[in-house]
Chains A and B, each alone.
Chain A
């Protein structure tokens, strides 16, 4: 199994008026070629920053990035901005969360899709237009010719997200980042878009990183999962292994908090009380200690290292689920 992208010990810090804020703290993740990797976590867990930093999309004097990112055999972290830019479109592409704001409201759909074709693939206007129509039918938009002439405001959220996907796959990228591609959409449209992404990934032989806060989405559409909490990857495993053999109390809590269609109606949900610790004031021990129902003194004092449980299953917990030490609850 070849690796499309490998992220090694990535740290991302932002300088803020409150001090240095470490959004990603030493994340390591391999994205195998042709596979789909889910990155799951709550808002503020660092999942979007992880993706953007790996792609080299974060820049500015207040951003500090450490670690190594290797994409398709090339070390992105050692490249200049222009060299990294060269990889966009044909190498890596991204679908953003909000299809309402990611499209330019004053340009026609056709112009927006053909832009990358003309710039990246040096197509002429006519060829780019023909290819744009093809891409629109690939993302299952009926009547692509008519769609090319429309403006984003004329489309529903689901249709806009399809257009975003068409733009992202326009130059046949090897790796597609999808950052919460369905969070702003209805459940029925979400099901359609996720199916579309899975089909495209298979047909175009892409690798994909699917960022989401919903473990339900991850279960059916990924091969591997990385769970993020407070800037760290706290558990990662092949999807089947993760759901069968969870180690982190956080992953379990996240799963339990999902309203399940099979639960008894009127049953109380198992919410995770509290919220993520502030990134400028994180606990010294385990990041999840403030909300973990199993936490012991050791969890407060010492930061848990990444433990390898075999089968590609890694986790960060002193007392993983199924551990023999008596728990508080």
Chain B
């Protein structure tokens, strides 16, 4: 999922302090799971903002809506009939949701309510770690299901490097060396011969190096 982190409330206040009718728009997908932008977080932020404005002696309307997703037209359409009631929208979705919302409703300023971080997994409640960089050319089949692009600090294809010590990366003693993990995993799978292969230079044109990307599938298009 897309992992986001909470934006400091002071930053959000700075974004919205000049508006008087604000919609807080949550998202029921990834940001709900990582407890940054779901219905609950919308409620907490709305309550905090209401109190902030009251304390400032301002009359500000703050409404709360949480959509199923903000990265699909059909769900964003649900607020079309009420969007004109607001001077600004704070979207607590990931950067995708914020942008899609802004593209759809061009007359309303859409402001980000979270900091979008990476594609990751929930290791345990309150701990999310990166697992994928969306490089566009998956190599997990040959690396035992462990990604050296997202989990190796150097993103090297033939590791480990000289900075790997006792299974840890040189940038932090708390960070596993991805290549050590790959070797351990391949050993457990009895596939160490895969490790012997030298991988050629990765084609980065499918990564961000090739500019903004798109996936176009004519087979499913209408």
Mutual binders A and B: no
**B interface, CB within 8 angstroms of A:** none
**A interface, CB within 8 angstroms of B:** none
